[in-house]
Chains A and B, each alone.
Chain A
Amino acid sequence: MRHHSILRAVTKFFLPYILLFGLYTQFHGDYGPGGGFQAGVIFAAAIVLYGLIFTPRIARKVIPYRAVYIFMSLGILLYAGVGVATLFMGGNYLDYNALNHHHPVHGQHLGILLVELGVGITVAAVVICIYYAFADRLES
């Protein structure tokens, strides 16, 4: 891909917008179409594009394997952790009402936001990980 300067330039130009759109999908998921799963895939797509154009080796410098594994686990822990928090705050598992006893609606809002963030982080990390795993096979 070294000679495709247009592709390289356009990719560099697009990357921040793809990432931003991923975050938009993530955090606007409460109000419109979107949510953690889609956001995670869009976010990961940016990294996959980067890897395709600038070789996976360089993509792995941006987000190394170790970081992928950590984020993969952190996403699940965030999701499950919200559930544990609601348990400790006197509700059932994942009963977001318990997160805010004065305004249950706010509790629901916060709960959904955090849980979807957990989903987004894990999905992004897993998609990147799958891409790395395939790319490594081709390289070796």
Chain B
Amino acid sequence: MIAEHPVIQILIPLLGAPLCVLTGRGVLAYWLALACSLASLFVATRLLATVMATGPIVYELGGWAAPWGIEYRIGPLNSFVLLLVALLGAMVMLAAKKSVESEIPGDRRHFFYAAMLLCQTGLLGITITGDAFNVFVFLEIAALSSYVLIAMGHQRRALYASYQYLIMGTIGSTFILISIGLLYQMTGTLNMADLAARLPAVGDTRTVLVSFAFFMVGVSLKMALFPLHMWLPNAYTYAPSIVSAFLASTATKVAVYVMIRFLFSIYGPAFAFDRIGVSQILGSLALVGIVIMSAAAIFQNNVKRLLAYSSVAQIGYIVLGISFASENGLTGGIVHLFNHGLMKGALFLVVAAVVYRVGSSDLNAFRGLGRAMPVTMFLFVLGGLGMIGVPLTVGFISKWYLILAAIETGHWLAVALVLLSSLLAVIYVWRVVEFAYFQPRDRDSDPVGEAPLSMLVPTAILVLATIVFGINTEWTVGVARAAAVFLLGGHA
């Protein structure tokens, strides 16, 4: 049965989406989407366990062997990312019911859940496949469904934000497609492993260089690497809260995964790092992004937007880790990819709960919530500590490895800037804490109750995970290190 798991992973949400449309306006669509998300989480857990125990899994679609057919190839890195996507998909879906009922009109809810499942399909598909063109196809599934999801936000500006994302996202995907096309032209193959084997022979041609340039710009747009992040703050701010929580914790991370996969297992570190010197570009963009975006987050008056800017900064940490191209750097980058997904998911779910109770994600709406919604705000504080990188949280672990890698390679400026940005994170997290705990609610405003249990429980699970993995790092760092070793060994 485990042999079929790779395809079942994709099939569950793919089949769930049309079924959600068929169930119509009732509440059934939600339970179906939830069942699919939980099943998908179960499959992802088993895949990761199998990969860690017995090595990579390969699945040939349609019975056609690679490189002719499409193959799913699951190694330590992508099973880790699969788990992140499936876990966040399930937790966000657990919390979704009430929030969606208050933010999405009744005649659109079943479409909303269908789009959520399609988005999951796309993100899981990008991660699982071993075929470069298949990456693009799933990239489009994920992107198109996320444009729809963002446009469903209840403010009119959601449409504008979605359109902005659509333009930037389409440029990104087109660039990636052009790059894959050029690679195909030079090698005649689309299978990643086969590409890696054939590329060194033609690595000196201008076509491959151009394809590399297109790929890097395209994927940087997709993952919102500074300064190509302009679409992200609006998209996360105006999307329905549940969508912000899901996309912020998974979509950009999957794009980072695509970059890692292409850099290390298609172009190869020898080409990308030694010949092109992508380290300098990625590293400096990441560092500038970390500092400027953390600083920008301080000046935001909307908590969703604040978290969105902080997301761009956190993407910088991940990219910084990758740019070192060393074992510790990659481990830090990959583990932060996972950890940041957990933290951002939790923080955005807290905001979703606040929007559900208070009706706004404005900083002013947070006044006095420390008293009115004590559990919710406590979870925010714990998640915020993670963002800062306080010891005993996952944020500390990722930064530890990043700084370790920076010291190893003698990048003292990187060490200083990472520490500086942690201080900036203290300020932006503190701003929310100050409003929540030290400012009274307006006397004439309606009383606010604690968030519903259905939203608290998944948030608490994520926050708990950030602390558990912050204390017992054996599992997350173990998997990330296995992935890093695997990548540096030149494997998929």
Contacts and interface: CB of A to CB of B under 8 A. Distances in A.
Interface of A: 69-70, 72-74, 76-77, 80, 83-84, 87, 91-98
Which 5 residue pairs are nearest across A and B when measured between Cβ atoms? A73-B18, A95-B63, A93-B7, A94-B62, A76-B18
Contacts of A93: 4, 7, 11, 59, 61-62
Interface in B56-86: 59-63
A92 B61 contact: yes
A97 B63 CA distance: 9
Contacts of A73: 18-19, 21-22
Nearest to A96: B62
Interface of B is mostly: helix
A36 B250 CA distance: 33
Contacts of A80: 11, 14-15
A94 B63 CA distance: 8
Nearest to B20: A73
A83 B11 contact: yes
7 contacts: A74-B18, A76-B18, A91-B63, A92-B63, A93-B4, A94-B61, A97-B63
A77 B17 CA distance: 9
Contacts of B4: 87, 93
Contact of B21 (A69, A83, A94, A97): A69
Interface of A is mostly: helix
Contacts, number: 47
Interface residues of B, number: 15
Contact of A92 (B11, B17, B21, B62): B62
Contacts of B14: 76, 80
A77 B61 contact: no
Which among B7, B19, B60 has the greatest number of chain A C-beta atoms within 10 A?
Answer: B7
Given A73-B19, A77-B19, A84 B11 contact: yes
Given A73-B22, A93-B59, A97-B63, 8 more contacts: A76-B18, A77-B15, A83-B11, A84-B15, A87-B4, A87-B7, A92-B61, A95-B63
A96 B7 CA distance: 16
Contacts of B62: 92-96
Contacts of A83: 7, 11
Interface string B16-28: 0111011000000
Nearest to B22: A73
A69 B108 CA distance: 12
B61 A72 contact: no
Contacts of B11: 80, 83-84, 93
B4 to A, nearest CB: 6
B7 A77 contact: no
Contacts of A95: 62-63
A95 B4 CA distance: 13
A87 B17 CA distance: 20
A92 B21 CA distance: 27
B246 to A, nearest CB: 22
A76 B14 CA distance: 9
A91 B60 CA distance: 10
A91 B7 CA distance: 12
Contacts of B63: 91-92, 94-95, 97-98
Nearest to A94: B62
Nearest to A95: B63
Contacts of A97: 63
Contacts of B60: 92
A38 B14 CA distance: 23
Contacts of B17: 76
Which among B7, B17, B62 has the greatest number of chain A C-beta atoms within 10 A?
Answer: B62
A73 B29 CA distance: 14
A83 B14 CA distance: 12
Nearest to B111: A69
B111 to A, nearest CB: 9
A25 B59 CA distance: 33
